[in-house]
Structure 1
Amino acid sequence: MCNTVKVSPRKLDPETRAALVDIAARLLAEHGAEALSTRKIAAEAGTSTMAVYTHFGSMSGLVREMVHEGFSRLERQFAQVRRTDDPVADMAVLGYAYRQNAKANSHLYAVMFGGQSLAGFSLTESDRQFGRYTLLTVVDCATRCIEAGRFRRDDPILIAHEMWIATHGLVNLELGGYLIDPVDADRCYDTILNSLLLGVGDDPRSVSASMTASRKRRRREVEADPEPAEAVASPR
């Protein structure tokens, strides 16, 4: 199933390609690794099994595209967040965008970080660059926070990692249904982020004002799944 099949050059339908990626990720999320077969994917897509090989070369190639597509959607989500004169509020909205993207694309989120070995696929250094590339948006925001005097002079890459680790951990618990009532994910997010912002040097009054501003912006700026036309190019 993992062998690469050579096919003749032909015009490929991007809609079919996108559908195959979504269907494969959904089958994986709903039914586990055993559902990841060319026959099941093609049947769901209403096409032939050859379509998988035509578009991806192999099942392993399809899994790789699932990883890349997941991070591409995250980058499009980040691109929806406005750059304002309050970089701390921007940081809060970026974290919310990360959460919303994970919930809207939970079928892709499950494979983005290489947690499962599927169809002989394993992440390469190039694949991991897709994930690292999205972090650059957060690094840039952390740099702006430092330059604005909101954060102490520190390593913006380290700050971005702290923000990503905290948000990623919350997302895993949120998607897995592990949060304990009456604590909800939004409350957890605001509390964690508030502590992180204070920890990197911001003052309580400014943090409170920026968090309030971010809550007003979140649902207005963060869409469920932005259209790919506005995508920011990722390295391939």
Structure 2
Amino acid sequence: MNTTAQSILQIARHIFETEGAGAVSMRRVAEQAGISAMAIYRHFENREALLQEIADAGFAELAGFWTPKRTRQSPLKQIEAMLGGYMDYALAHPRIFDYMFAEPRPSARKFPEDFRKGRSPTGNLLAQAVTAGIDAGVLARDNVWDVSMALWAHAHGLICLYRGGRFSYDEAAFRKFYRRSLQRLIHGLRAN
């Protein structure tokens, strides 16, 4: 990606993070980048392509955060750390998180077909940790993708409920609750 495209993406992401996806317009981003409204289309085909680039960068950030946690810990601790990172990302980048995981997008990956074909950069990492847990005998034998989706859905649901004001906890109390809740779920998935 060239310098102008990077600048456009950085400006668009700043607008996205501070005001939401609805505030990102090609004209506004071009204006802030100091280029003409038509010049932006040399770098991004349309608004959807620009927003998709922001989402793709978010998935890469999340996957990049998870990768070191996978190599230094037991499989169950890896899963806890990865889903803890999911919460950290969601609370640090709520508008991008919503766009990545909670809003309809034409290019959004669908379960189960896209996940089983390895098309989810974050889902692949979680499935690898679940596989490692099953292979190590600490998680019960089960369908890796179904277990991964159950873990993700539990984490995602708690985050959405918190962000929707359904908890009276402050952020520190929610973080503790979230981690304990995930530990309970993981404990229930353990091999006997």
What's the TM-score bracket when you normalise by the shorter of the two chains? 0.7 to 0.9
Alignment pair present for 1:192 and 2:174: no
Would the alpha carbon gap of residues 176 and 89 (structure 1) be closer, same or farther in structure 2, given more than 3 Å must change? same
1:146 to 134, 145, 148: 134
Greater shift in the superposed pair: 46-55 or 184-193: 46-55
Whether 1:165 and 2:148 are equivalent positions in the alignment is no
Aligned counterpart, 2:107: 124
Deviation per residue, 1:105-148 (Å, 9 max, x gap): 333222113615xxxxx4136x5559723211111111111121
- CA deviation profile, 1:180-226 (whole Å, cap 9, x unmatched): 136722112222112111211257xxxxxxxxxxxxxxxxxxxxxxx
**Alpha-carbon distance between aligned partners in 2 of 1:33 and 1:145, rounded to the nearest angstrom:** 38
Tell me, yes or no, if the aligned pair for 2:21 and 2:51 is still in contact at 8 Å. Answer: no
Q: Is 2:72 the partner of 1:84? A: yes
Indicate the residue corresponding to 2:43 in structure 1: 55
Q: In the TM superposition, what whole-angstrom CA distance separates every residue of 1:68-96 from its partner, at most 9, and x where no partner exists?
A: 22212211111231423511111111111
Q: For structure 1, which segment, 54-63 or 82-91, has the greater mean C-alpha deviation from structure 2 after superposition? A: 82-91
1:73 to 61, 66, 83: 61
Contact 1:66 1:111 in 2 (8 A): no
- CA gap of 1:32–1:140, structure 2 versus 1, over 3 A, is closer
List structure 1 runs of 4+ shifted beyond 6 angstroms.
Answer: none
- The structural deviation recorded for 1:161 is 0.8
Q: Unaligned stretches of 5+ in structure 2?
A: none
- Give the superposed CA RMSD: 2.8
CA distance 1:18–1:112, change in 2 (3 Å):
farther
Kindly tell me: are residues 69 and 155 of structure 1, through their superposed partners in 2, closer, same or farther at Cα, counting changes over 3 Å?
same
Percentage identity across aligned positions?
25
Higher relative CO (Cα under 8 Å, sequence separation at least 6) belongs to 1
TM-score (norm 2): 0.79
Contact kept? 2:66, 2:85, Cα under 8 Å: yes
Q: How many residues align?
A: 185
Higher Cα Rg, which structure? 1
Partners of 1:31 and 1:131 lie apart in 2 by 29
Matched, 1:180 2:168: yes
Could you tell me which runs of 5 or more consecutive residues in structure 1 were left unpaired when the two chains were aligned: 1-11, 117-121, 204-236
Correspondence 1:13-32 to 2 at 5 A? 13-14=2-3, 16-32=4-20
Q: State the one-letter code of the partner of 1:136.
A: N
Q: How far did 1:52 drift?
A: 2.3
- Contact 1:52/1:59, CA 8 A, preserved across alignment: no
Q: 2: distance between equivalents of 1:51 and 1:94?
A: 40
Distance of aligned partners of 1:153 and 1:69 in 2 relative to their CA distance in 1, 3 Å threshold = same
